A and B are shown apart, each in its own frame.
Chain A
Amino acid sequence: MKRKAIFVILLILAIFAASAQSTLQFSGVTPKDARSMGMGGTFRVFSQGYSSFFGNPAGFAGANSSLTLTDISTWAYLAPTSENVDRVQKIVSGTASDSDILSWAGDWIVKNNGFGAGLSIGGGWVGKKGIAIGVVAASDEIAAGNSLLGAKLVSATELNGIIGYAYPFKLGPVTLKVGADGRAFYRVQSSPITGWPFSEILNDVLAEDVDLSSIASSLNFYGGYGFAADAGLVLGLGPVMLGFSVRDLGLEFKVGSFTGQDLIDKNVSALPIAGTTTAALTPAYAAGLGIRLFENQKFEPSIYAELEDPQELFSSSDIVASALGSLHAGAQVRVLRFLTIRGGLNKGWYSIGAGLDLSFLEIDAAVFTEETSIYPGDKGRSGFSMQVGIRFGR
């Protein structure tokens, strides 16, 4: 046990030592999965099983093993109102005019503070002894700005191969789960700051004689591979848990440039292997408090509160505003071991969700709003998320 503890501690220290500053900063591409989004964006620090591949690696140390054959999450940054559903139907059926599409895009950018969509696909195994191996690919595309003309489309896609390990230490009534994982990833990304000029792309797409080649050539990407690590711990006393996690600790890596047209012409071989521009992932920290009652019983409620980047509070001139501006709170009730109802506050915005766990098939859905400004209630972006998983075990 001692040797395992020393190994985990050394691994975490090595990860911290590896974190570095760089030129291009890329944020993590985190799946907006329905479980988390239904609970106000919580369930990162107290993730369990498969969710720990993009949550807290300490969650690999569960009592049960689980095999996720596939887990697909898709989300859209578009409030699921009847008006928006009607608009989308008209666009899909081709009955919307170009003017309508431009007007609705402008409306979504100004009133919803952006719109877009994302997808994540993955699978993996989390063993009883805390060893985890998985693959997760996630892509997030958002057009946002103060107006349609000023809107930028930012695209980020990341494929991860992950190996993790977590170990539960028993210290009397207290349980300490410590975990870490290492990831090899390939990242494809538009410029994270300037993105692509969305109105130009939209106008080109809506033009009478659409020149797809010209559009694809105008889309500049960065691409490159790197290595990163995540680490975390969860301290438990009965049903009460305290947790901390850090994600996207990584060495600098090199990215190269290519265009959408290169990808069409050369397929996967267009992806740069040895770029010349230096990039790094921006580490994301989270701390939380959770209460999980009657685990694996017919009535299983749990409640979570998590702070994003809690270290920022120490340098804030208005701690209350900063704390509320980074607070995710949520709860879920699992009844009869297969039906889950969720609700939460995502930096003050309501979210709701529900899930079904039918033997090996899991279906979850959520409606959410997330804050895009530093002040709660300032710029909410609404959306919905659906998740389907084929999983054996929890």
Chain B
Amino acid sequence: MRKKHVACFSLLIIVALLFSGCDAMITNVYKTMNLGQPDPEILKKEDVSTLIEQSGISSGTVSDSFIEAVISDEATKDAIIAKLEEVVDSGEPEDAQAAQALIIEIEIADLGADELIDSFNEALPNLASLEGSGNGPAVGDIIDLLIPQNLQDNPEQLSDLIDDLVASDLDEQIATLANLIGTDEEGKADLVFEGLDYGTMAQTAALILIVQNIEPVDESQSAGEAVVAALEALQGDGDPAAFISLDSDTLTNNPDLAVLFDAAGAGELYDSLMESLSSSEPT
């Protein structure tokens, strides 16, 4: 009888253990103690194939720890990017694409935009389903969806981040990646390899090009300042379109995005996304 009670009590504990929430448990002791993490000095000496393998870029999930180690100091970043660029210029097509995708990931993280990209990756599925009055979703709704709350709460950081993204050469890096994929006679993505995550590459490229095609209404403002002003307007029932507009023609006519989405097998999503963006209300 006593054993039965202990058993029932234990069973209750097991169930409670499973469903009482376990956020505190989702912690890595080694990471907290900085054990087993990639060493920038060792990474600098690795050959390109090891770098690509350790980054995870060819297996579909990019290692945040690897990227953090690469951008931890300028010399490491420069040395590794130089090695990757050699492969982009003269390596086998699959390695060249992986190297170029890794360069883009490193540059994004170096700008501090990785959080924005992650947020976008989560939000994109909802973008096509945004509803607006009449012609489609308002630009303010798009921005509200894409920019994570903590960046919305830190306007100075957000403004700098957007300005850095606008000033970056990431559009050229995306074009290089699209060229490496190439197109066949029917205009479809040509060299598509297993293991590379074209879906995320396409989404990342979409966000970068969206940001780079934001136009401040007030020309004295930077794009970052205008987005921050638009967000403030959005929060105060104002009109964000009084501060920013989207150069949707440049965006929808960009051939690189089409190649990347096609490589991801997401041509329909691309069409839906472009339709959604081109019909977004300026006001």
Q: What is the chain B residue whose CB lies nearest that of A192?
A: B194
A339 to B9, CA, bound (A): 11
B26 and A369 contacting across the interface, CB-CB below 8 Å: yes
B200 and A150 contacting across the interface, CB-CB below 8 Å: yes
Q: What is the chain A residue whose CB lies nearest that of B27?
A: A350
Interface residues of B (CB under 8 A from A): 3, 6-7, 10-11, 13-15, 17-23, 25-32, 35-39, 42, 45-46, 50, 54, 56, 60-66, 118, 121-126, 129, 194-195, 197-203, 264-266, 269
B60 and A145 contacting across the interface, CB-CB below 8 Å: yes
The B interface is mostly helix, strand or loop, or mixed, namely: helix
A99 and B203 contacting across the interface, CB-CB below 8 Å: no
Please judge, given known A-B contacts A193-B194, A348-B36, A365-B18, whether A377 and B25 are in contact too, CB under 8 Å: no
Contact residues in B for A372 (Cβ distance below 8 Å): 61
Interface residues of A (CB under 8 A from B): 79-82, 85, 98-99, 102-103, 105-107, 110-111, 113, 144-152, 191, 193-194, 197, 199-200, 317-318, 320-325, 336, 338-339, 345, 347-352, 354, 356, 358, 363, 365, 367, 369, 371-380, 382, 384, 386
A352 to B20, CA, bound (A): 13
Q: What is the chain A residue whose CB lies nearest that of B129?
A: A99
A151 to B60, CA, bound (A): 8
B38 and A318 contacting across the interface, CB-CB below 8 Å: yes
Contact residues in B for A350 (Cβ distance below 8 Å): 25-27, 29
A148 to B124, CA, bound (A): 9
Determine which of B27, B195, B200, B202 lies in contact with A193 in the assembled complex, contact meaning CB atoms within 8 Å: B195
Determine which of A79, A193, A200, A317 lies in contact with B265 in the assembled complex, contact meaning CB atoms within 8 Å: A200
A375 and B36 contacting across the interface, CB-CB below 8 Å: yes
Contact residues in A for B65 (Cβ distance below 8 Å): 373, 375, 377-378
Please judge, given known A-B contacts A200-B265, A317-B46, whether A373 and B25 are in contact too, CB under 8 Å: no
Please judge, given known A-B contacts A149-B264, A377-B30, whether A99 and B63 are in contact too, CB under 8 Å: no
Contact residues in A for B29 (Cβ distance below 8 Å): 345, 348-350
A352 to B13, CA, bound (A): 12
A386 to B11, CA, bound (A): 12
B38 and A321 contacting across the interface, CB-CB below 8 Å: yes
Determine which of A99, A146, A325 lies in contact with B61 in the assembled complex, contact meaning CB atoms within 8 Å: A146
